[in-house]
């Protein structure tokens, strides 16, 4: 059934198609009968996982970027995800980069985006997260700085977001690796990352929260080994709870699509090997002591298992949903 739906969606502009699917899932999440139907369709045996102090009903999650404003996460939860990561959220609303800014590459089973954190801002997203939560779902929020916030003042944006979303989420992901906000990836450098994470950890302690809120850092797949070692040294030394590996890549080599030369972050099948290699390196460098969420190019059950075998505790998908449909979650879980 999904191939027919996908063929219809692929006749629409990519952003319009994405907005349509979000609207449908938001509606489904608001209607109890639809939620029940979806749960029955996509039900799979539980496969419990423990990571960074949280219990997950299964290791498969929805990556950040799919539901930036927290509109459809209740409906998406009915598809069988063990966790959902909302965002990236910025303190203030912003339009993102000019369109066109999202491109399908069917020949490569990939997407290129240069969205630039478009969204309605933290206050709007916080309202979407309030209220009853689906049972058994772990909810994360991915945090980023506004485009007009300099790197020197970026810590203030992240601190603002931590204060807002720590009471509303199960974990927070610190996004310093999107290629579509100018200069953001420089926050992965040793000194900048230490200043940012040190401030966030101190704020988390001073906030006197009723429960521990894990902090995770989302890293780029384009880091050199020395850069990765620097980042991990900071993350391990400050006792950050985990990492997400990886964001999209700026390396577009080997693509077949006519959109290959578009600027932006590449996701999907061409990212699989690079992101899996990063998961393996992180696992190796940290001696397996740092929990990893593996993301990038998970298009099939085999791809998910590859991430887990490389050292990931959890796996996230996004582009795989576009090409394979929501049945992918159940397929993965049945084959783990």
| Strands, sheet with 265-268, edge to edge from the N-terminal-most edge strand | 102-105, 110-113, 265-268
127: β partners:
none
Cα dihedral sign for 222, 227, 230, 234?
negative
Q: Distance between CA 233 and CA 223 in Å, rounded? A: 14
CB 7 within 8 A of CB 332: no
- Choose the catalytic residue: 57, 169, 177, 178: 178
> Cis omega before residue 129 (within 30°)?
no
142: phi then psi, degrees, rounded to nearest 5:
-95, 125
Which residues are within 8 A (CB) of 84 and not within 5 positions of it... i.e. 6 or more apart? 61, 62, 67, 73, 76, 77, 137, 138, 139, 140
If one counts every other C-beta atom within 10 angstroms of the C-beta of residue 146, the result is: 18
Residue 178 bears catalytic tag = yes
Neighbour-count burial for 51-90, b at 16+ CB within 10 Å, e otherwise = bbebebbbbbbbbbbbbbbbbbbbbbbbbbbbbbbbbbbb
Q: Distance between CA 181 and CA 21 in Å, rounded? A: 25
Helix (H, G, I), strand (E, B) or coil at 243: strand
Instruction: Calculate ∠ Cα 69-22-78, nearest 5°.
Output: 100
- Where in the sequence numbering do the catalytic residues fall? 178
């Amino acid at each position: 059934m999904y191939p027919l739906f996908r063929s219809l969606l692929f006749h629409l502009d990519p952003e319009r198609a994405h907005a349509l699917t979000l609207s449908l899932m938001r509606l489904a999440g608001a209607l109890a009968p639809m939620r029940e139907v979806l749960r029955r369709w996509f039900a799979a045996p539980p496969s419990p996982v423990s990571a960074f102090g949280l219990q997950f009903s299964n290791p498969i999650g929805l990556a950040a970027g799919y539901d930036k404003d927290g509109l459809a996460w209740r409906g998406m939860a009915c598809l069988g995800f063990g966790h959902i990561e909302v965002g990236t959220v910025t303190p203030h609303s912003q339009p993102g980069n000019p369109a066109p800014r999202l491109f399908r590459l069917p020949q490569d089973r990939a997407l290129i985006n240069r969205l630039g954190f478009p969204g309605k801002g933290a206050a709007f997203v916080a309202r979407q997260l309030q209220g009853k939560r689906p049972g058994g779902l772990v909810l994360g929020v991915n945090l980023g700085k506004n485009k007009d916030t300099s790197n020197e003042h970026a810590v203030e944006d992240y601190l603002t977001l931590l204060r807002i979303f720590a009471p509303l989420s199960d974990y927070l992901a610190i996004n310093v690796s999107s290629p579509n906000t100018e200069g953001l990836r420089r926050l992965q450098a040793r000194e900048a990352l230490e200043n940012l994470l040190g401030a966030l950890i101190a704020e988390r302690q001073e906030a006197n929260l009723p429960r521990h809120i894990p902090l995770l850092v989302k890293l780029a797949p384009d880091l050199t080994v020395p850069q990765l070692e620097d980042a991990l040294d900071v993350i391990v030394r400050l006792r950050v709870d985990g990492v997400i590996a990886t964001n999209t890549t700026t390396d577009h080599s080997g693509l077949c699509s006519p959109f290959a030369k578009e600027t932006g972050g590449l996701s999907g099948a061409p990212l699989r090997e690079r992101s899996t290699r990063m998961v393996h390196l992180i696992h190796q460098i940290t001696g397996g002591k740092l929990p990893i969420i593996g993301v990038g190019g998970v298009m099939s059950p085999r791809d998910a298992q590859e991430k887990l075998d490389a050292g990931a505790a959890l796996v996230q998908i996004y582009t795989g949903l576009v090409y394979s449909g929501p049945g992918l979650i159940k397929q993965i879980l049945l084959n783990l």
